[in-house]
């Protein structure tokens, strides 16, 4: 289950208007929607905020992956409902429902970001935001090696199981002890890999004194500006509602009686 869930954050090459947007615009999108969701605790405004995300999912042709990420959270949802309903005496169920919508909104926003931003461009956008090249590069390098390490982890599990290693063990101490046969090879392998990668980087003039050129560039297009403008309008309107500069009718604050 857990790995499936992570897949909904992995960049997917597709052609759509959302994919074409500048990564910085999409980062802004994820942040604005996080703020939007955090501003409210009532069900109705949260539903509105959540619904306004759906067009972006459809435009980005991401429905399938998005559903998967939401399904992956089912366990967390149940957990939230039980805990809140049990421990919050005052409309606990209503509150937990709001929390679920809030989390779903934030996860959806970031899932759109990661699903549509090419990790290559991510590094470039960090650099354009004045992050030093070395940092931006290490960030993209980490991304690059996630699948490699996942495959290595699977191979380690397979190798150990083939010599009688048992995954499930009873008791917390045994469980911790049981991690060593997996973690030690993984850590040692990763250290070795780090050396190999560093060696390969050195050999390809990484850290050269010369001024680095950039073969690829990213550009904030007219569509990006329109998108940015739209996001800011939504944000400002919601802030006004929150500060009650715009007064909403009573149903806006409606909650479930439980």
Q: How far is the CB of 222 from another protein (least distance, A)?
A: 24
191 makes contact with another protein (CB under 8 A): no
Closest CB to another protein among residues 16, 148: 148
Closest CB to another protein among residues 208, 244: 208
Buried b (16+ CB within 10 A) or exposed e, 126-151: bbbeeeeeeebbeeeeebeeeeeeee
Contacts of 136 (CB under 8 A, 6+ apart): 123, 124, 126, 127
Residue ranges of the alpha helices (H) in the chain? 2-7, 17-20, 23-39, 43-59, 63-72, 74-87, 92-116, 119-128, 133-161, 172-177, 180-203, 222-242
The interface mask with another protein, positions 41-80, x = CB under 8 A, is ----------------------------------------
| Cβ neighbourhood burial of 203 (10 Å; 0-12, 13-18, 19+) | exposed
* Selected binder of another protein within 15, 130, 170, 204 (CB under 8 A): 204
**22, 220 Cβ separation under 8 angstroms:** yes
Counting residues that bind another protein (by CB under 8 A) gives 53
2 makes contact with another protein (CB under 8 A): no
The interface mask with another protein, positions 137-166, x = CB under 8 A, is ---xx-xx--xx---x--xx-xxxxxxxxx
93 makes contact with another protein (CB under 8 A): no
* Selected binder of another protein within 174, 175, 196, 221 (CB under 8 A): 196
Q: How far is the CB of 258 from another protein (least distance, A)?
A: 39
Contacts of 182 (CB under 8 A, 6+ apart): 153, 156, 157, 160
178 makes contact with another protein (CB under 8 A): no
134 makes contact with another protein (CB under 8 A): no
251 makes contact with another protein (CB under 8 A): no
């Amino acid at each position: 289950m857990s790995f499936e869930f992570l897949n909904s954050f992995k960049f997917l090459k597709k052609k759509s208007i959302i994919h074409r947007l500048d990564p910085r615009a999409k980062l802004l999108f994820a942040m604005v929607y996080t703020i939007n969701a955090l501003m409210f605790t009532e069900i109705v405004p949260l539903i509105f905020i959540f619904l306004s995300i759906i067009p972006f999912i459809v435009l980005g042709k991401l429905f399938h992956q998005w559903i998967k990420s939401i399904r992956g959270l089912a366990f967390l949802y149940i957990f939230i409902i039980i805990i809140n309903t049990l421990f919050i005496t005052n409309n606990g169920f209503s509150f937990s429902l709001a929390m679920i919508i809030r989390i779903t909104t934030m996860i959806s926003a970031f899932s759109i970001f990661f699903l549509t931003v090419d990790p290559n461009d991510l590094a470039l956008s960090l650099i354009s935001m004045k992050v030093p090249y070395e940092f931006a590069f290490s960030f993209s390098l980490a991304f690059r090696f996630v699948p490699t390490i996942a495959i290595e982890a699977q191979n380690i599990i397979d190798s150990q199981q083939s010599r009688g290693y048992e995954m499930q063990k009873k008791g917390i101490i045994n469980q911790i002890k049981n991690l060593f046969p997996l973690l030690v090879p993984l850590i040692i392998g990763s250290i070795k890999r780090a050396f190999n990668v560093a060696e390969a980087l050195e050999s390809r003039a990484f850290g050269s004194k010369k001024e680095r050129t950039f073969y690829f560039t990213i550009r904030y297009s007219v569509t990006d500006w329109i998108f940015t403008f739209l996001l800011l309008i939504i944000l400002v309107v919601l802030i006004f509602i929150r500060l009650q500069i715009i007064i909403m009718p009573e149903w806006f604050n409606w909650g479930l009686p439980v």
